[in-house]
């Protein structure tokens, strides 16, 4: 964890890493809108942040805020019970042990992440996978730009190639595919204001 901060001290505010961290934190605000006593230890915050970052990168998580909240509270109770009694399901006991000492070490963080993600996916096996291809490639961008004649599909303004943003008509975060037929030309301001809205 400390290595990450050392390596990323000079991150640009507009970098994809910073945007990804912000998206995860904003999602966590939706999941936990009020004070959450289960999140009083740094290890739980790190574990939950890693889980949310990973889930949002690979699965459609919009509308799953309550599921994540309920899972976390229940998982926390199971881990704390295992910590107090030294008993319970093996994965939960392993998680409790990995969060009891040396909590910032990479090995323990990786172990806790694997356990909490496995438990979440076992509880919610019906999650929809996101298209692993997030961005339109150069060829796709050219085809979408030519098809839409360089016109923003929201405000009808002419957009220069260098200023054009290939947008998912049906948002990627909601399961939209990164395919030409799901792409459209948007100007920067329209793309920013659209966010993840479904047309």
For 21, counting Cβ atoms within 10 Å of its Cβ (0-12 exposed, 13-18 middle, 19+ buried), the class is: middle
Instruction: Work out the pLDDT band at 33, boundaries 50, 70, 90.
Output: very high
Give the N- to C-terminal CA distance of the chain in Å, as an integer: 39
Instruction: Write out the two tokens for 43.
Output: 């290890």
For the chain, percent of residues with pLDDT exceeding 70: 88
Does domain 138-194 fall under CATH 3.40.50.1100? My reply is no
* 8 A C-beta contact, residue 98 and residue 105: no
- Determine the pLDDT at residue 26: 92
Structure tokens at 78: 């199971």
Residue-range domain boundaries for the chain: 2-123, 138-194
On average, the pLDDT of the chain sits at: 89
Tell me the pLDDT tens digit for each residue of 109-155: 999 999 999 999 999 999 999 988 889 999 999 999 999 999 999 99
In what helix (H) or strand (E) does residue 113 lie, and over which residues does it extend?
helix 106-123
94 pLDDT above the threshold of 70 = yes
Q: What is the DSSP letter of 2?
A: H
Closest listed residue to residue 108, CA positions, set 160, 43, 161, 156: 43
> What SS3 state is found at 4?
helix
Position 180 scores a pLDDT of 95
pLDDT at res. 134: 86
């Amino acid at each position: 964890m400390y290595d990450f901060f050392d390596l990323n001290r000079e991150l640009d505010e507009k970098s994809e890493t910073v945007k990804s961290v912000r998206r995860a934190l904003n999602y966590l605000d939706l999941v936990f809108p009020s004070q959450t006593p289960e999140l009083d230890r740094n290890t739980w915050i790190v574990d939950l942040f890693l889980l949310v970052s990973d889930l949002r990168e690979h699965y459609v998580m919009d509308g799953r805020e309550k599921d994540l909240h309920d899972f976390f509270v229940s998982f926390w109770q199971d881990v704390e019970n295992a910590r107090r009694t030294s008993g319970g399901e093996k994965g939960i006991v392993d998680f409790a042990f990995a969060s009891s000492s040396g909590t910032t070490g990479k090995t323990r963080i990786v172990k806790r992440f694997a356990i909490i993600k496995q438990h979440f996916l076992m509880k919610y096996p019906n999650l929809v996978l996101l298209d692993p291809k997030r961005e339109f490639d150069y060829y796709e961008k050219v085809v979408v730009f030519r098809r839409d004649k360089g016109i923003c599909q929201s405000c009808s303004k002419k957009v220069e190639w260098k200023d054009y943003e290939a947008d998912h008509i049906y948002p990627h975060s909601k399961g939209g595919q990164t395919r030409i037929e799901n792409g459209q030309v948007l100007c920067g301001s329209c793309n920013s204001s659209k966010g993840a809205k479904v047309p």
